[in-house]
Amino acid sequence: MNDLGPDYGAVDDDMFVARYRARCHCGAVCYEVGADPVDAKICHCRTCQSLHGAPMQWAAIFHKRHVRMTRGIEHLRFYSGVLDRPGRVPPCKVSCALCGTPVADEGRRMWLAFPTLFEFGAKGEIPEAFRPTCHIFYGQRVVDVDDGLPKWSGHKNASDKIDV
Name the residues that contact Zn ion, by CB under 5 A.
Answer: 24, 26, 28, 43, 45, 48, 96, 98-99
- Which residues sit opposite 86 in a β-bridge? 79
Nearer to Zn ion, 33 or 136 (CB): 136
State the minimum distance, in angstroms, from the CB of residue 81 to Zn ion.
9
Residue number, 17 or 26, with CB nearest to Zn ion = 26
| Short-list 124, 101, 34, 106, CA closest to 70 | 34
Rg for the chain, CA atoms, rounded: 16
C-alpha 134/C-alpha 63 separation (Å) is: 19
Closest approach of Zn ion to the CB of residue 111, in Å = 15
Q: Which is nearer to Zn ion, 48 or 92 (CB)?
A: 48
Decide: 89 and 83 in contact? Cβ < 8 Å: yes
Nearest distance from C-beta of residue 44 to Zn ion, angstroms: 7
Q: Are 151 and 129 in contact (CB under 8 A)?
A: no
Smallest gap, in angstroms, from Cβ of residue 27 to Zn ion? 6
Angle, alpha carbons 161-102-134 (nearest 5°)? 20
Provide the sign of the torsion angle of the four alpha carbons 147, 50, 4, 7, taken in this order.
Answer: negative
Of the two residues 65 and 90, which places its CB atom closer to Zn ion in the complex?
A: 90
